[in-house]
C-alpha cells in the first residue's frame, strides 16, 4: 500500500486508499455504502504474539 488518508485529491474528492497496482478508492466511491467488509492481510510473514492480544 502506498497511501491511506493522503491529501491527494480528485476534484473535491479525497483519495483515501491507493495500492502499488494503482487501485484507488475515493470518498465518493463509498458514498451511500453501508454494512461491513470482511478483510484479511495474507502474507508469508509470522505475526508477533503481541499483535494477537
* Residue 49 in domain: no
Q: What's the confidence (pLDDT) of residue 23? A: 92
Residue 8: pLDDT over 70: no
pLDDT band at 12 (very low <50, low <70, confident <90, very high): low
DSSP element (H, E) containing 26: strand 24-26
* Residue 38 in domain: no
* Residue 21 in domain: yes
* Residue 7 in domain: yes
Nearest to 18 by CA among 34, 5, 2, 35: 2
pLDDT tens-digit profile of 19-50? 899 999 999 998 888 998 877 777 777 878 88
Q: What's the confidence (pLDDT) of residue 6? A: 47
Look at the chain and report how many structural domains it folds into.
Answer: 1
* Residue 20 in domain: yes
Domain that holds residue 12: 1-30
* Residue 13 in domain: yes
Amino acid at each position: 500500500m502506498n497511501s491511506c488518508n493522503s491529501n491527494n485529491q480528485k476534484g473535491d474528492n479525497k483519495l483515501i486508499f491507493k495500492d502499488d497496482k494503482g487501485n484507488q478508492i475515493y470518498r465518493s466511491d463509498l458514498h451511500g455504502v453501508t454494512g461491513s467488509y470482511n478483510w484479511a492481510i495474507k502474507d508469508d510473514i509470522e505475526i508477533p504474539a503481541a499483535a494477537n492480544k
